[in-house]
């Protein structure tokens, strides 16, 4: 699977920033690959790219239009179909991270065939997975986990990969969702795998490796999210992490899209160790990543310091303050092994 | 989905009894629907039905051949294809509970089309599920959970449905696996649902109901099984059970198909309450079902008595000693509500 670059990011008319997190993630980590964004009237998101129509994007060199949004249920709204067909007719491929396959919409399938363009549904892996074995395999693994969905698990994993490489570690980001796949060009969307194979897909994603190699696995959902905890647990069991980092958004009061309060960081640490011990009894927390986007600098520093003291591990906002502390703790903790 | 009866049960050449649990379950609960079994050379299982070839089965009135086995990974062995094609040519429909779709085997698809027969893949629901909401809905629910796979969760749920109805309760078995669907004629194979929709499928399976109605939901896997715990957790969250029964096989030392020891009953009770509280804080254990198949009568009675004392709830082998104690406890526990 090789998606042609550069990209035009399609945001549709999504109602808020969280719904556009796929597009934002691509821009944050691969700005050079993006020529612009295409938004429909009413769109409440902004990826801070030039607003281009399809003709202008093609003129700027775009080769693929990325449907860079997430919807509950992963459905493609009918009123977006016309824009996608126009893009195909203008010579662009289309790549989507929605559950619904682009080719299941007859107009899109027909236009792609007629124009000789390619449709990429990155949520739908063409791999055949085995069921998980649960047997410990060589190599080290770090997993990001969360108090909720959309709290920064992918950002944290990407920042850790970068920080670990800068410190000379042999580290690879392993994408488990659509944005991560767009950013790293490989991976598996674990939430789209058949339920029986969640942990098997996670085992496939981070195979046996050199003893000092680190896979930095992007977490999904939360053990405390009533919609997605099964995915989170299967990913935890299959990744069999040696280390994990808890990701948290301190201003959020309700879990994303449901009527449930957030768990505490300590609840997540305890539940992750309890469940993760099944496939790796050595599992330990090495840091806490706090998404302080909605706090001022002083409050952000204060909450990181307070959280570090409370839990006895480095706490940081990876975007604002970097991940040096967590990487240092990781190196220290595994130095003797 | 209506599968024509009576059935011929196809056992292939499976290596042990556990691999034939689908067929055994159908015979135990719907013996009248089965005209016989078809076994290939080397088959180590026996559903205690007349051994019939396809011609004899058709003569005895069979209308559907059930592929009544489970394989790790759900794959259909190539050397079974000839028998299935012969059955189609003799006028039988085929129903399978394997992950792999019958129609994905070209010879089978071709034979079914040519002979005008129907292929049923009961693992693959045609429903479109939403993601789970986690919101409490009216009606009462009981879920069977287990220390491992294949320890009696379906049997226990079916025995409870029967026992609850005999005591005048309004109870319905809700099938979550292939055998249960063959037995009850409806349900959803949750392990074949896309991972993001596990709890949503469980919510669909046991919708809002009368306040005194009981759904008796068939459990799957185990929170402690490294291959399938994600399925178990999603089913727990979506079922939001008021009550659960722990199922256990006391002679087993290793979890099915992996190198992991069994958890204790108490670990399962604690983990089920901890995780289940997310969508139903009132969740409680009302009994323990012990599969004493491999024990003599005296040992079986002793282990049930000991387990009941240790955990303070009725403990029984549903097959050997019935479920009166558990049903009694359930009625007592929920009488005041």
Quick: pLDDT tens for A68-90.
Answer: 898 777 789 999 999 999 999 99
List the one residue out of A144, A210, A233, A240 whose CA is nearest residue B259: A240
Tokens of A141: 């693994």
Residue A117 sits in the same domain as residue A153: no
Mean pLDDT in residue range A130-153: 96
Tell me, what's the pLDDT at A336? Answer: 67
Mean pLDDT (chain A, rounded) = 94
A179, pLDDT greater than 90: no
Q: Tell me, yes or no, whether B159 and B190 share the same domain.
A: yes
Min Cα distance B302 → chain A (Å) is 30
pLDDT at A66 over 80: yes
The 10s digit of each residue's pLDDT in B79-105 is: 999 999 999 999 999 999 888 899 999
Tell whether the model's pLDDT for residue B75 goes beyond 90: no
pLDDT in tens, B134-157: 999 999 999 999 999 989 999 999
Looking at A92, A121, A150, the residue that finishes a domain is A121
Residue A126 has pLDDT above 90, yes or no: no
Of A99, A194, A258, the CB nearest to B134: A258
* CB-defined contacts A:B, below 8 A: 142
Same domain, B41 and B94: yes
Tens digits of residue pLDDT in B249-269: 999 999 988 999 999 999 999
Final residue of a structural domain among A86, A121, A156: A121
- Residue predicted with more confidence, B3 or B194: B194
Asked if A124 is an interface residue toward chain B (Cβ–Cβ < 8 A), one would say no
**Domain termination site, one of B66, B92, B121:** B121
Read off the tokens for B225.
């099984």
pLDDT at B50 over 80: yes
Residues 6+ apart with CB under 8 A from B335: none
**Strand, helix or coil for residue B137:** coil
Are A92 and A189 members of one domain? no
Length of chain A measured in residues: 337
Could you tell me if B112 and B224 lie in one domain? no
Predicted confidence band at B125 (pLDDT cuts at 50, 70, 90)?
Answer: confident
Q: A125, A188 in Cβ contact below 8 A? A: yes
Q: Which of A167-176, A181-190, A299-308 has the lowest mean pLDDT?
A: A181-190
- pLDDT, one tens digit per residue, over A235-278 is 999 999 999 999 999 999 999 889 999 999 999 999 999 999 99
Vertex A136: Cα angle to A131 and A141 (nearest 5): 100
Q: Do both B187 and B218 map to the same domain?
A: yes
Residues A52, A157 share a domain: no
Contacts of A133 in chain B (CB under 8 A): 226-227, 258-259
Burial class (CB in 10 A: 0-12, 13-18, 19+), B6: middle
Q: Report whether pLDDT(B337) > 70.
A: no
Give the residue on B whose Cα is nearest the Cα of A128.
B73
**B258/A135 Cβ within 8 A:** yes
Host domain of residue B298 = 140-334
pTM comes to 0.85
Task: Say whether both A169 and A231 belong to one domain.
Answer: yes
Residue of A136, A219, A139 lying closest to A171 (CA atoms) = A139
Percent of chain B's residues with pLDDT above 90: 84
Q: At what angle do helices A265-276 and A297-311 cross, to 10 degrees?
A: 40
Interface test with A, best of B226, B241, B283 (most A CBs within 10 A): B226
Residues of A in contact with B260 (CB under 8 A): 134, 278
Taking the C-alpha atoms of residue A99 and residue A164, their distance in angstroms, rounded to an integer, is 32
> Phi/psi class of residue B34: alpha, beta or left (left: φ > 0; alpha: ψ in -120 to 50)?
beta
Are B234 and A230 an interchain contact pair (Cβ–Cβ within 8 Å)?
A: yes
| Residue A323 · residue A160 · CB < 8 Å | yes
Asked whether residue A112 falls in the same domain as residue A168, the answer is no
- Answer whether residue B90 is part of any domain: yes
For the ranges A187-196, B66-75, B139-148, B262-271, the lowest mean pLDDT is seen at: B66-75
Report d(CA A293, CA B206) in Å as an integer: 40
* Whether pLDDT at B127 is above 90: no
Q: Which of B40, B122, B115 is nearest to B85 (CA)?
A: B115
Q: Does the pLDDT of residue B187 top 70, yes or no?
A: yes
Across the interface, whether the CB atoms of B199 and A230 are under 8 A apart is answered: yes
Q: Has residue B229 got a pLDDT over 80?
A: yes
| B236, B239, B244, B245: CA torsion to nearest 10 | -80
Mark yes or no for CB contact A195/B191 under 8 Å.
Answer: yes
The mean pLDDT value for A155-177 works out to 96
Say whether both B210 and B286 belong to one domain.
yes
Q: Give the nearest chain A residue to B267 (CA atoms).
A: A274
Residue B320: give its domain's CATH number. 3.40.50.300
Give me the pLDDT at residue A102, please.
95
Chain B residues in contact with A125 (beta carbon < 8 A): none
Query: CATH number, domain at B67?
Result: 3.40.50.720
The answer to whether the CB of B200 falls within 8 A of the CB of A227 is yes
Average pLDDT over residues A176-192: 87
User: Same domain, yes or no, for A113 and A259?
Assistant: no
Residues in chain B: 337
Rounded Cα–Cα distance for residues B176 and B144 (Å): 11
Sign of the CA dihedral running B10, B14, B17, B21: negative
Q: Are B234 and A195 an interchain contact pair (Cβ–Cβ within 8 Å)?
A: yes
Tell me if ipTM is over 0.85.
no
Count: domains in chain B: 2
Q: What's the pLDDT score for residue A93?
A: 96
Chain B residue numbers with beta carbons less than 8 Å from the beta carbon of A260 are 134, 278
Q: Is residue B86 within 8 angstroms of chain A, CB to CB?
A: no
């Amino acid at each position: 699977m090789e998606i042609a670059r550069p990209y035009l990011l399609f945001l549709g008319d999504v109602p808020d920033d969280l719904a556009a997190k796929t597009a934002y993630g691509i821009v944050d980590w691969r700005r050079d690959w993006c020529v612009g964004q295409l938004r429909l009237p009413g769109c409440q998101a902004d990826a801070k790219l030039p607003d281009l129509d399809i003709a202008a994007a093609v003129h700027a060199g775009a080769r693929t239009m990325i449907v860079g949004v997430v919807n509950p249920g992963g459905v493609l709204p009918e009123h977006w179909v016309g824009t996608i067909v126009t893009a195909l007719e203008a010579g662009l491929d289309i790549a989507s991270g929605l559950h619904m396959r682009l080719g299941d919409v007859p107009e899109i399938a027909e236009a792609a065939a007629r124009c000789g363009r390619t449709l990429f549904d990155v949520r739908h892996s063409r791999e055949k997975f085995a069921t998980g074995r649960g047997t410990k395999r060589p190599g080290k693994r770090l997993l990001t986990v969360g108090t909720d969905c959309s709290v920064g698990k992918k950002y944290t994993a990407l920042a850790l990969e970068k920080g670990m490489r800068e410190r000379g570690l042999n580290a690879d980001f392993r994408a488990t969702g659509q944005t991560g796949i767009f950013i790293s060009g490989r991976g598996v969307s674990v939430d789209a795998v058949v339920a029986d194979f969640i942990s098997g897909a996670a085992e496939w994603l981070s195979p046996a490796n050199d003893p000092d190699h680190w896979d930095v696995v992007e977490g999904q959902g939360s053990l405390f999210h009533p919609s997605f905890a099964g995915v989170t647990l299967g990913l935890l069991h299959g990744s069999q992490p040696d280390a994990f980092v808890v990701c948290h958004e301190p201003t959020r009061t309700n879990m994303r899209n449901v009527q449930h309060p957030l768990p505490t960081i300590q609840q997540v640490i305890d539940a992750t160790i309890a469940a993760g011990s099944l496939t790796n009894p050595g599992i330990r927390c090495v840091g806490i990543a706090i998404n302080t986007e909605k706090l001022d600098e002083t409050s952000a520093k204060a909450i990181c310091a307070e959280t570090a003291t409370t839990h006895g591990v480095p706490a940081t906002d990876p975007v604002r303050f970097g991940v040096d502390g967590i990487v240092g703790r990781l190196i220290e903790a595994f130095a003797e092994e």
